[in-house]
Structure 1
Amino acid sequence: MTEPSIELELDVDATAGGFRIQSRSGVGGECAVDTRWDPEDRTLERRLRRLHVALLSSAAGTRRVAARDEKAAQELGTTLFDLLFTGDVRTLFDTTRQQAALRGSRVRLVLRVRPPELAALPWEFLYDQRRDDYLGLSMPLVRFPEVMDPVRPLRVEPPLRVVALSARPRTLDEIDAAAERANLETAISGLDRRGRVTLDWATGETWRDLLNALGRGQWHVLHLVGHGAYDEGHGEGVFFLATEGGASYPLRASRLAQIAALHPSLGLIVLNSCESATGSADDPFSSTATTLIRRGVPAVLAMQFDISDRAAVEFTRSFYAGVASGLPLDVAVRNARLELSLAFPDTLEWGTPVLFLRQRDGQVFEVPARSAPPRHSPSRTGSPPTGSPGTASPRPAQSPERSPHAPAPSRRPPPSVTARRAGRRRVPVRRWWALASGGLAVAVAGVAFTVLSGVGGTGTSVAVPANVTWTGTGVVLQPGQHVRITASGRISPRPGIAAGPEGLSVQTYPGLRLLSSSNYGALIGRIGGAAPFEVGAGTELRAPGGGELYLGTNDLDAGDSTGEFTAQVAMD
């Protein structure tokens, strides 16, 4: 299912001494603005150079983005924003954002920039300083070259099949092929285990190896790792394969497009090579990516700058998870950009990938909806059966004679208390008031614990509000400690949309997720500062490290969500 969105389309054409920007909005507005361009003004050129330096600096993996690097990105992004959104175009942009917010949807920005000198600019860094907002992180942003014959979505029966080739000609700068291969396999490993994505590698680095790999089956994605460049002589981008002797073999983009045309199941080519999105200042279709689009490839994901290994792994993991789930490619890229920026706040590399599409909606692959995961029963999670001897039960066992559809007997709900901890926000929790044979429910420091006689564990019940990113449970786990979590309740991540702890599948509502492998709005957890994990209706695990257990909903934009989950946490 396509994420609810309102499209804002911007067409940029050259005029005498400047440019004309035409804008059309899905809310019904349309306008055109003429703007002048001073070719002697070197401000944009200087800011581009500073951005290049900032990207190299942030890719080195320092503890945080230096203020000067962030400033370089914001200054360039502001210049690009002011160039594109001026006069009535800015007014229409603001109106579209307001209408999208009122409708509970998002803006989808489609750029069709025809002048080559403008098409080559890194529009992914567009920055609205009024909102302190990089548009590439807050909305799907796609470059949509004007081509004929858009393609229909390709129906994909999971798994999404990826074939990859890594080329390292000895006449070019050394590439650590083993590391590149390990990076891609690391990014896809979790998806592979769940049957969502498969990855095969070409056995060599030559054009024959590429043809042989593509001929082994029906592939959906071709992923190329290596060196790229712009060939001034032929006026198009190239990807460097190797010859039989190990020298470089420049495979021109037009030839790569001819190869791709022989495999109609290919819907996407990923170019993990520098300058694959860079072209001539005289021809907007001269880069490797745009040449492939013009020659019929449905979608191309290319790099406009070098990208570090850690950024490539994080972006690739999230991107392929979204694609395999059926997200439109532009939404998958937007989500992957945001996850990269959150995983590594010290880098600006989220702006390096560029998505080129041949069709408007970004739905290159049509992935059938998967059935919802089964609910976890208490017995599967290891929780004691309700009402069993020697346990404290949060609710009485249901009589077997009572119909499951009959209304529950009226009883007074348990009172709520609020845990107060020094230096921590107020966290709502509920006491377990039940007393059972051999079990005792007590409250310590405002947090409810149940001592389970004969089981040797303690438990707590925590309310997890939907409008808070993370809620501390007060449960501090030791490395290797066994913990079981079950959950119930309903939340509304968006007006008119309800979800249980399992969340909403991507096909039902994509949403902006913190954990790309889990459903939107699902209950998730983390221990200390470790990576988040899926909880859903129930899970159990051994803590990989020590720290407090936090619970939250899988929603990066949770501020307007309502409702709460109730989680029962038991520790051995």
Structure 2
Amino acid sequence: MAEGERGLEFEVEVSESETRYHITARSSIGGEGVADAGRTPDGLLLGQRLQRLRIALLSSAVPRRRVPSNDEAAVQQLGKALFDKLFIDEVRYLFDTTRQQAAQQNRPLRLVLRFRSPEFAALPWEFLYDARRDDYLSLSMPLVRYAEIPETVRPLLVAPPLRILGMSARPAQFDALDVEAEKTRLQRALSHLVRDRLVELTWVRGETWRDLVHALDSGRWHVLHLVAHGAFDEVAKEGVIYLPGEDGTTYGLRASLLARVVSLHPSLRLVSLNACESAMASTTDLFSSSASTLVRRGVPAVLAMQFEITDDAAIEFTSSFYEGLASGRPIDVAVRNARLELSLARPYSLEWGTPVLHLRQSDGRIFDVLPKRPPRRPGTRPEPPGAVGARAEPSRVSGVGDGPSRVAVRAPAAARRAAAATAPPPAVRGDGGREGWTRRSRRPLVIGASAVCVLGAVLFTLVTSAADEHGAGSATVRVDASSSWTASGVRLKAGQRYEIEATGEISPVPGARNGPEGEAGHGDDAMAVLDRANFAALLARIGDRGAPFLVGGGAKGSATTSGELSLGLNDRNPDDNTGALTVRIRLFD
């Protein structure tokens, strides 16, 4: 993500003491604003405004030409009260200064809210309204509720498609949800992303908690999209998702139990709760809502609803949101854009403020989405495999995932020089000039040169390599980080002993620098060629269909089969990698 995309950041933190609230603001332009607010007896008035907000949201959801002025006036009154409660004195001045700087630099502004006060966390800050500008802040800038939890989670490296596991549930005791219609609407909304292989949507077969657990165990998912009835249990002080029970009754899946299930799947980075009141919290427990409970238990991001939302509004928001997420935008930017598009698509509705984004990632990056590889144009031919730096035709490789894998072939320098010396000279016309070759006339010569290069690589390894006291041979191979597999030119016999040593530095993701051992604790298992090995670690295989094995900085052993030794990284999509490794191979009789 470019720096310009990240923009400037304005952070507001609210803590509390026995008699006062303490508000601290920090800006990325520098500076800090501090303000104190007394505990004023305005709870009853605020409660009345929240009730009016609920009524206004329900009223605005009914299709009409425009929002009645009294409905939006109720929302604006609450939004202004929230704005005046948070942005006071030095905090407001610093906010205005930061916003002015963002406009002058033509950079977006991001608002981060950190609440240490449960009473503040329970309020609908997504409706913050700056009456001076007639501006709802969440429509003009990303607005994030950040849970300050010690453990951080690195962005997950994802190669498209983004894999979404959807579940829709309708307990018999509640108002019916048309499950099939819900699935159809979401599939239609995401159809263009599915067609372009940016998103993969799979639905849970069934509606019970057991069906959900089995579906999560069946694959590696990036997103859980749950459509169900939800509520806040005032007695248990915890969010609840209602599912059909196995005995035909209603099963209340508490947020803490859902968090326990989700925490077992580290590739799952986002939970989208399309359930009313899944973001509503207790005023006495900071982590009481379904969303905040999931974040506390390790989920990097949760998108939830703090009020009821209509199906049409949910689908409109979801379509735009997943499109932004699959394109690689930070999740908070994707949410802001989805709010804006919902407000334009349904100008009579105020439901754009219903979704709430909870994050434990301070920068909003839960995924590093790799660019989708463009398909090879029909009718084009790959470059010949013997050409220097060329890549062979994409081919299926055992153990390297579902997509095509490119194999880079590069002969040693001596072999390339030998091939050049034996290549025929270009044809000469009668006037002494060089004949212009067509692509068709060049192809046999290029293919012939390719074969000589490959043969020269083998001869170079077996004939000119240095022998040790065991009569062994050795060769040195360069492995480019952007190549899927690099042919070494070294052929092994079944049972033959070998030693491999590697040095060098590569960058598998922007800003990272690693040696041949790779990087521990980074990436999605779906991106790995070899499970349980470090991401981007050096691998080897014997033969085109041989099982990959770990080399790292070095490995020794005996060949289990005969074939050519190839080298590559533990990364299914290496196209954007940079750097190279130098690998020395020694063979023993």
Consecutive unaligned residues of structure 2, counting only runs of 5 or more, are 378-509, 511-589
CA deviations over 1:427-468 (Å, ceiling 9, x no partner): xxxxxxxxxxxxxxxxxxxxxxxxxxxxxxxxxxxxxxxxxx
Partner of 1:382: none
Partner of 2:363: 361
Instruction: Give me the whole-angstrom Cα distance separating, in 1, the residues matched to 2:14 and 2:209.
Output: 38
Partner of 1:258: 260
Q: CA deviation at 1:233?
A: 4.1
Equivalent of 1:98 in 97, 100, 117? 100
Contact 1:186 1:313 in 2 (8 A): no
Between Structure 1 and Structure 2, how many residues are aligned? 376
Partner of 2:273: 271
Amino acid at match of 1:258: R
Which is worse superposed, 118-127 or 15-24? 15-24
Q: CA deviation at 1:293?
A: 0.3
TM-score by length of 1: 0.64
SS in 1 for 2:24: strand
User: How is 1:270-419 mapped onto 2 (pairs within 5 angstroms)?
Assistant: 270-370=272-372
Partner of 1:11: 13
Partner of 1:33: 35
Contact 2:239 2:278 in 1 (8 A): yes
RMSD (Å), alpha carbons:
1.8
Contact 2:12 2:26 in 1 (8 A): yes
- Counterparts in 2 of 1:125 and 1:31: CA distance versus 1, 3 Å: same
Q: CA deviation at 1:119?
A: 0.7
User: How is 1:454-473 mapped onto 2 (pairs within 5 angstroms)?
Assistant: none
Instruction: Give me the whole-angstrom Cα distance separating, in 2, the residues matched to 1:282 and 1:252.
Output: 18
Instruction: Give me the whole-angstrom Cα distance separating, in 2, the residues matched to 1:94 and 1:161.
Output: 40
Amino acid at match of 2:107: S
Q: CA deviation at 1:372?
A: 8.3
SS in 2 for 1:42: helix
Amino acid at match of 1:362: G
Q: CA deviation at 1:102?
A: 1.6
Consecutive unaligned residues of structure 1, counting only runs of 5 or more, are 376-506, 508-572
Partner of 1:523: none
TM-score by length of 2: 0.62
Instruction: Give me the whole-angstrom Cα distance separating, in 1, the residues matched to 2:209 and 2:123.
Output: 31
- Counterparts in 2 of 1:286 and 1:204: CA distance versus 1, 3 Å: same
Q: CA deviation at 1:186?
A: 2.1
Q: CA deviation at 1:6?
A: 0.8
Richer in strand (by share): 1
Instruction: Give me the whole-angstrom Cα distance separating, in 1, the residues matched to 2:104 and 2:341.
Output: 25
Contact 1:224 1:271 in 2 (8 A): yes
CA deviations over 1:69-125 (Å, ceiling 9, x no partner): 111111111110011100010000001001111211111100011221211111000
Partner of 1:134: 136
Amino acid at match of 1:47: R
1:187 matched to 2:189? The reply is: yes
Amino acid at match of 1:352: T
Q: CA deviation at 1:40?
A: 4.7
State the structure with more CA Rg: 2
Instruction: Give me the whole-angstrom Cα distance separating, in 2, the residues matched to 1:171 and 1:50.
Output: 28
Instruction: Give me the whole-angstrom Cα distance separating, in 2, the residues matched to 1:159 and 1:357.
Output: 23
SS in 2 for 1:291: helix
Instruction: Give me the whole-angstrom Cα distance separating, in 1, the residues matched to 2:290 and 2:43.
Output: 29
Q: CA deviation at 1:182?
A: 2.0
Partner of 2:232: 230
Partner of 1:539: none
Partner of 1:143: 145
- Counterparts in 2 of 1:29 and 1:373: CA distance versus 1, 3 Å: farther
Instruction: Give me the whole-angstrom Cα distance separating, in 2, the residues matched to 1:200 and 1:228.
Output: 22
Which is worse superposed, 99-108 or 317-326? 99-108
Instruction: Give me the whole-angstrom Cα distance separating, in 2, the residues matched to 1:82 and 1:351.
Output: 18
Give aligned-pair identity as a percent. 59
Q: CA deviation at 1:4?
A: 3.1
Q: CA deviation at 1:39?
A: 2.4
Richer in helix (by share): 2
Contact 1:183 1:309 in 2 (8 A): no
Q: CA deviation at 1:218?
A: 0.8
Partner of 2:244: 242
Partner of 1:42: 44
Partner of 1:525: none
Amino acid at match of 1:230: F
Which is worse superposed, 83-92 or 44-53? 44-53
Q: CA deviation at 1:62?
A: 1.6
User: How is 1:483-502 mapped onto 2 (pairs within 5 angstroms)?
Assistant: none
Instruction: Give me the whole-angstrom Cα distance separating, in 1, the residues matched to 2:255 and 2:43.
Output: 33
Contact 1:126 1:135 in 2 (8 A): yes
Instruction: Give me the whole-angstrom Cα distance separating, in 1, the residues matched to 2:357 and 2:106.
Output: 25
Instruction: Give me the whole-angstrom Cα distance separating, in 2, the residues matched to 1:240 and 1:41.
Output: 30
Contact 2:193 2:199 in 1 (8 A): yes
Q: CA deviation at 1:130?
A: 0.8
Instruction: Give me the whole-angstrom Cα distance separating, in 1, the residues matched to 2:375 and 2:124.
Output: 40
SS in 1 for 2:26: strand
Instruction: Give me the whole-angstrom Cα distance separating, in 1, the residues matched to 2:133 and 2:237.
Output: 40
Contact 2:159 2:371 in 1 (8 A): no
Q: CA deviation at 1:275?
A: 0.8
Contact 2:160 2:372 in 1 (8 A): no
